[in-house]
Amino acid sequence: MHTVRLFSTVIFALLFMGCPPPAGHNSNDSASGGNNPNAPTQGGHNPDNPAQGGDNPAPIGKHHVAYVSAGGSHTMIVKTDHTLWAVGNNDNGRLGDGNTDQKLNPVQVMEIPVGGGAPRPMTNVKQVSAGADHTIILKKNDTLWAVGNNSFGQLGDGTTDQRWTPVEVKEKTPGGGVARAMTEVDQISATDSRTMIVKKNGSLWAVGTNQFGQLGDGNSGLDASGDELKAVIPIAVKEKSLGGDPARAITNVDKVSIGIDHRVCKIFRVNACLLQASHLAASFVAMFLSPCGFYRDV
């Protein structure tokens, strides 16, 4: 699994770093990284669904890609115009285009307008993290969206319902009140059935399965009905002080990376690195083998 994810990420990285484009590349096509402002950016000639690229989709040029993340069997691409594209396996609707059909060429991720209405291409995307079968999306306004498998609540929308188009991740108001749209999100990482979230204030949040204590809130095991313990709305990750004081919400977190078996590296703003796992050696390796995507400021 790691080999497949790493290979997919490396391929997109090579394109991003300027390696030769695919055969048939047209330097006059703006979709291929050329400088013809009048060329179509979505390629192909399917009048019914131009976002799917038609029969002869134009390659996404290296100068148009800002961020890439490879999941279990799908790949997510943020372009420099802040649109989001997806390709690969679409079981559970993880590509976010409103259906579950496999895609051999990148298609645009869709969103439902606030208040309802017909799906439209998602815009203002800043960052994306592809899990095994779900996808987490960070927008420029620092709100968080999720799509795909939700069996363990990993989408963080308060349900376990599968989603084919992105829905807003929620958070509880101070004191554990009514759930509302999560805001002030800074960085994200998704894996098979969990999602980790760093907020701008340096707090760390987790959502999804928690049978083995993967969410870091001090709980584990099964719930009252005998199912795996899980959180369907993000909960605060906690830490214990060296003096053995009661656990408290962890702070000063800058970045987080989450692996398949839940190896987590938290890089603090004070430039210290803490590995939390049952096997530290495996955690250190996983820090390099769990792709989080290639990023470029846009």
The model's pLDDT over 49-69, given as tens digits with 9 standing for 90+, comes to 444 444 566 677 666 999 999
Average pLDDT over residues 251-273: 62
Q: What is the pLDDT of residue 38?
A: 37
Q: Is 242 helix (H, G, I), strand (E, B) or coil?
A: coil
**Cβ-contact 81, 298 below 8 angstroms:** no
Q: For the beta carbon of residue 50, count every other beta carbon within 10 angstroms.
A: 16
Render 208-221 in DSSP notation, one character per residue: EE-TTSTT-SS--S
CA distance linking residue 242 with residue 248, whole number of Å:
12
Interacting residues of 101 by C-beta distance below 8 A, sequence separation 6+: 90
CA distance linking residue 109 with residue 164, whole number of Å:
10
Average pLDDT over residues 8-13: 45
Average pLDDT over residues 106-117: 92
Q: Is 91 helix (H, G, I), strand (E, B) or coil?
A: helix
Higher pLDDT, 155 or 220: 155
pLDDT-based confidence at residue 242 (cuts at 50, 70, 90): confident
Average pLDDT, the chain: 75
Q: What is the pLDDT of residue 45?
A: 36
* Structural domain spans, the chain: 2-21+59-295
Average pLDDT over residues 281-288: 32
Q: For the beta carbon of residue 143, count every other beta carbon within 10 angstroms.
A: 16
CATH class of 2-21+59-295: mainly beta
The pLDDT of residue 128 is above 70: yes
Q: What is the pLDDT of residue 57?
A: 66
pLDDT-based confidence at residue 179 (cuts at 50, 70, 90): confident
**Cβ-contact 74, 104 below 8 angstroms:** no
Half-sphere exposure of 12 (CA within 13 A, CB side): 29
Instruction: Provide the total of helices (H) and of strands (E) in the chain, helices listed first.
Output: 2, 22
Share of the chain above pLDDT 70, in %: 65
Question: What's the pTM?
Answer: 0.71
Q: What is the pLDDT of residue 223?
A: 80
